[in-house]
Amino acid sequence: MRDLIVTENITLDGVIEATEGWFAPAGDDGVDESDVIAALNEQREAADAFLVGRATFEQMRGCWPHQTDDATGISEYLDRVSKYVVSRTLQDPGWDRTTVLRGPLTEEIQALKSAPGADTVVTGSMTLVHALIAAGLVDEYRLFVYPVVIGRGVRLFAEGTDVPALRLVEARAFRSGIVLLRYRPV
């Protein structure tokens, strides 16, 4: 049985939309984020599947398969894991080890969760994540909280979202000021 893990970079005020220049991938802003990269590597080692929506998939497909000098390990991770993209319009994923999920979301995700394997990680994919939350399919939230307040943008928990009570299972601070908060539904 797989856990479905939502991992998001998020601001103090709950924004997950990477606008306004608040988010730089680990190490891209000149700050030593080796401890953040180590935490991301730990999470990648615990997962063998990656789930995204079509827009996030297309952005990632345009970038990661073409990396030749990736010190973060993301490119290598994405090459080896099974990738699942939720889309009714994508015909040819054009990326090895990718399956397009076209059926009803709840049925597709429940089938994925019941398959043998390690964790399935979802990142970005704001529309998909909101649908997963609404369907009660998320087993854990891993939030990399950036010490930034934006005041506007798409939030992880949109107004009116019915979120179950959450239990904190880990809080870890990093040198950069980023904090990892892990929550599981009670």
Annotated domain spans of the chain: 4-20+30-185
Task: Give the Cα separation of 85 and 18 in Å (integer).
Answer: 20
pLDDT value of position 24: 63
Task: Give the Cα separation of 7 and 34 in Å (integer).
Answer: 18
pLDDT value of position 30: 66
Task: Give the Cα separation of 65 and 52 in Å (integer).
Answer: 16
Give yes or no for a contact between 123 and 52, defined as CB atoms under 8 angstroms apart. yes
Q: CATH number of 4-20+30-185: 3.40.50.620, 1.20.200.10, 3.40.50.410, 3.40.430.10?
A: 3.40.430.10
Long-range contacts of 75-83 (CB under 8 A, 24+ apart): 77/44, 78/50, 81/47, 81/48, 81/49, 81/50, 82/48, 82/49, 82/50, 82/117, 83/49, 83/50, 83/51, 83/52, 83/57
DSSP 8-state symbol, 20: T
DSSP track, 129-166? HHHHHHTT--SEEEEEEES---SSS-BSS-TT-----E
pLDDT value of position 133: 94
pLDDT value of position 160: 72
Tens digit of each residue's pLDDT, the chain (186 residues): 899 999 999 999 999 887 766 666 554 556 788 899 899 889 999 999 999 999 999 988 988 888 888 877 888 889 889 999 999 999 999 999 999 999 899 999 999 999 999 999 999 899 999 999 999 999 999 999 999 898 888 899 877 778 889 999 999 999 989 999 999 999
Q: Would you give the distance in Å from CA 98 to the centre of its chain? A: 16
DSSP 8-state symbol, 4: E
Reduce the secondary structure of 21-48 to three states and give it as a string: CCCCCCCCCCCCCHHHHHHHHHHHHCEE
Q: Would you give the distance in Å from CA 16 to the centre of its chain? A: 10
Contacts of 99 (CB under 8 A, 6+ apart): 82, 83, 84, 85, 93
